Amino acid sequence: MKKIRYVSADNTVAEWGDKSAVCKRFDGLKVKTLNSYLTEMRKNPIYSQYVINPSHKIVWINFEGFLSFLLYRQDRRYKYGKGA
């Protein structure tokens, strides 16, 4: 089976990446934590558009959308407390 790998074109910045690319960009983020965040993003209608799953093994995440989701989680954490 051939692996699909996204490589940005010359003089452009990648907007989407796989799990390893997200973990590299957000230093210190572990795959297990990323998986739980992606599950939460898929369930949220606002952020589900930033996670693409064309098959059960392939996932692409929009970097800006992921950052927006993290900021959203941060805001909710302090306003509503745990479990809100």
Condensed to tens digits (0 to 9), the pLDDT of residues 7-50 reads 655 556 789 999 999 999 999 999 999 999 999 999 999 999 99
What mean pLDDT comes out for the span 62-83? 84
Residue 3 has pLDDT above 80, yes or no: no
pTM of the model: 0.77
* Cβ count within 10 A of residue 1: 4
Helix, strand, coil percent values for the chain (each to nearest 5): 50, 10, 45
What mean pLDDT comes out for the span 42-63? 95
Q: What is the pLDDT of residue 17?
A: 93
* Alpha-carbon gap, residue 1 to 21, rounded angstroms: 21
